[in-house]
Every structure is written in structure tokens, then in C-alpha cells.
């Protein structure tokens, strides 16, 4: 009991950068990052990688700039890596520890490097703010079967078992394991805001984030079930992005280097 209490105090009381929200996080970073790395290797090893040179080099460039901005701002000290997967889903994820997967289906929506920077900065922000850890913590608390000590991905006949898929869903890679688990409104707004800061500091025009989310709002999404009604609407998201834009523009104007929209994709 005391051990649990100490763990809760040690890991439970963190606050999110830039928003100051207190968060409940029971999973130690080292464990969460190891889980992210395992999941990254597992997924990247089984999916086919994109061979599009133009896209791969643009993704690499954007990831370098955005993650440098995240490190300069919040020092997450991640070991960043990225793979572009050949997959028609318009999606991307940054797993704990800085492991990024970009699905080729999102490239037409990104349209240019700045749009891509908005997507990647948003996903990186989810990871730096430890949103996946918070969701896994909730699962651990709600479902005693998920023991912290054994928080690893396990396989059943070579495939990830149902529990591992649930963990991956909680870490934001639902698109790749078939478990729909959108982030809550609080997590989405936080990732949008922190993402705007990262993309602006990386030297990408933050007004492109609004254009990106306008394009993303055209995507026909599966209907959100009522228990997920805390997911933000596209209108809410665009309103909040617009509200924060003047602050993001200040950061952009002070950025060491400016790339504007960057090259087209």
C-alpha cells in the first residue's frame, strides 16, 4: 500500500508543459518509452514502408526541425525516429519516447511541409505531454488486471494479443491496430496548442495549421460513439487554433530560421 502511495506521489503529480494542467500519470517514463519503442519496432517491422523519396525526405526534414523545437522548448530527451508507412489511412502517431509513424494516406491532406509540420508537431505534443501514459494509467487504475510491472506487449500466435492492442490504442496508434480510441477534448486542445508552439519555433508558418485542420475536417469519419462524446468537434478545434494564432505568430516571427510553407508534397 505504501509503495503504491509512493509511486502515485512520484509519478502521479506531473504538470503538462504550456498549459500547466496537473495530470495523473502512474507509468514511469522509462517504462512508457520502452513500450513505445517496442510498439514502433513491432509496427514498422510488419507494415510496408513508403518508397517515395520526395515524401520520405520531406518527412525527415520536418521531423528534424519540429523535434529540435520540442527539445529546445521542453527537453523531453527522446530518441527520435520516424518511418513513413504505405497505408491509405490519413493518420500519424508519435509513440512515447519519440517514435513517429506517418501513414502515407495523410500526405495529400498535409499538402506542403508546413501542413506536415502541423501534423507532426501535434503528434509530438501528445507524446511530450505524456497523454498516452495518462490513458494507460487510467486503464491500469480501472482495470486491475493491467499490472504495471508487466506492462509490455505480448503476442498470441505471432500476433499482438487483445490486451497489447488496447495498450497500443491508448498510446494513439489505434489506426494501426484497429482499436478506435480518440483522444479526449482536453488532450486534443493541449496537443493543438503545444503543436502550434513547436511548428512556429521550427520556422513553419502556423497559419498553415488552420488550413490543414480545415482539410482534415472534410474527411468522412466513422461516427463517434456516445461514450466518446468528449472528442472535440472540428469547429471547436478551429476556433481554439484561431484564438492562439497571434501567440504562435509571435513565436514564428522570433524563430531562428523561417521556412514559410516549405516545399509542396
Residue 201 C-beta-side C-alpha neighbours within 13 Å? 18
How distant, in Å, are the alpha carbons of 23, 76, 159, 168, 201 from that of 175? 25, 25, 16, 10, 29
Task: Taking the CA atoms of 243, 201, 72 and 212 in sequence, report the sign of the dihedral they define.
Answer: positive
Q: Which uninterrupted H or E stretch holds 160?
A: strand 159-160
Q: How far is the CB of 99 from Zn ion (least distance, A)?
A: 16
Q: Of 126 and 165, which CB lies nearer to Zn ion in the complex structure?
A: 126
Residue 112: CB minimum distance to Zn ion, A: 20
Return the number of the residue (69 or 191) whose C-beta is nearest Zn ion. Answer: 191
Q: CA-CA distance, 22 to 32, in Å (whole number)? A: 19
The residues annotated as belonging to the active site are 123
Tell me if 94 contacts Zn ion by CB under 5 A: no
Indicate the residue among 127 and 191 with the shorter CB distance to Zn ion: 191
Is residue 106 part of the contact set for Zn ion (CB under 5 A)? no
How far apart, in whole angstroms, are the C-alpha atoms of residue 195 and residue 248?
10
128 is an interface residue for Zn ion by CB under 5 A = no
Q: Which is nearer to Zn ion, 50 or 173 (CB)?
A: 173
**CB-closest chain residue to Zn ion:** 191
Nearer to Zn ion, 32 or 259 (CB): 32
Determine, following the binding rule CB under 5 A, whether residue 100 of this chain makes contact with Zn ion: no
Cβ atoms of 170 and 135 within 8 Å: the answer is yes
Closest distance to Zn ion from the beta carbon of 109 (Å): 14
Helices (H), the chain: 2-12, 29-46, 53-74, 107-110, 113-128, 131-142, 162-170, 174-177, 185-201, 207-216, 234-253
For Zn ion (CB under 5 A), the number of binding residues is: 2
Place of cell 472535440: 232
Considering the complex, what minimum distance in angstroms separates the CB of residue 83 from Zn ion? 19
Binding mask 165-204 for Zn ion (x = CB under 5 A): ------------------x-------x-------------
In the complex, minimum distance from the CB of residue 192 to Zn ion, in angstroms, rounded to a whole number: 8
Which residues bind to Zn ion, rule: CB under 5 A?
A: 183, 191
Amino acid at each position: 500500500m505504501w509503495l503504491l502511495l509512493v509511486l502515485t506521489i512520484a509519478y502521479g503529480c506531473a504538470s503538462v508543459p504550456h498549459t500547466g494542467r496537473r495530470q495523473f500519470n502512474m507509468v514511469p517514463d522509462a517504462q512508457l518509452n520502452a513500450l513505445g519503442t517496442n510498439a514502433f519496432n513491432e509496427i514498422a517491422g510488419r507494415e510496408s514502408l513508403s518508397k517515395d523519396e520526395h515524401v520520405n525526405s520531406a518527412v525527415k526534414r520536418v521531423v528534424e526541425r519540429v523535434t529540435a523545437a520540442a527539445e529546445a522548448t521542453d527537453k523531453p530527451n527522446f530518441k527520435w525516429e520516424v518511418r513513413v508507412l504505405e497505408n491509405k489511412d490519413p493518420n500519424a502517431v508519435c509513440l512515447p519516447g519519440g517514435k513517429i509513424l506517418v501513414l502515407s494516406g495523410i500526405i495529400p491532406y498535409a499538402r506542403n511541409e508546413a501542413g506536415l509540420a502541423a501534423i507532426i508537431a501535434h503528434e509530438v505534443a501528445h507524446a511530450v505531454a505524456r497523454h498516452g501514459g495518462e490513458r494507460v494509467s487510467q486503464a491500469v487504475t480501472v482495470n486491475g488486471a493491467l499490472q504495471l510491472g508487466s506492462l509490455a506487449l505480448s503476442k498470441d500466435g505471432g500476433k499482438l494479443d487483445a490486451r497489447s492492442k488496447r495498450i497500443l490504442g491508448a498510446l494513439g496508434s489505434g489506426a494501426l491496430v484497429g482499436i478506435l480510441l480518440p483522444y479526449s477534448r482536453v488532450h486534443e486542445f493541449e496537443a493543438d496548442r503545444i503543436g502550434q508552439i513547436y511548428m512556429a519555433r521550427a520556422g513553419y508558418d502556423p497559419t498553415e495549421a488552420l488550413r490543414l485542420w480545415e482539410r482534415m475536417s472534410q474527411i468522412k469519419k466513422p461516427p463517434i460513439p456516445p461514450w466518446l462524446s468528449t472528442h472535440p468537434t472540428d469547429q471547436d478545434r478551429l476556433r481554439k487554433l484561431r484564438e492562439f494564432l497571434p501567440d504562435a505568430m509571435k513565436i514564428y516571427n522570433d524563430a531562428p530560421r523561417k521556412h514559410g510553407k516549405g516545399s509542396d508534397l
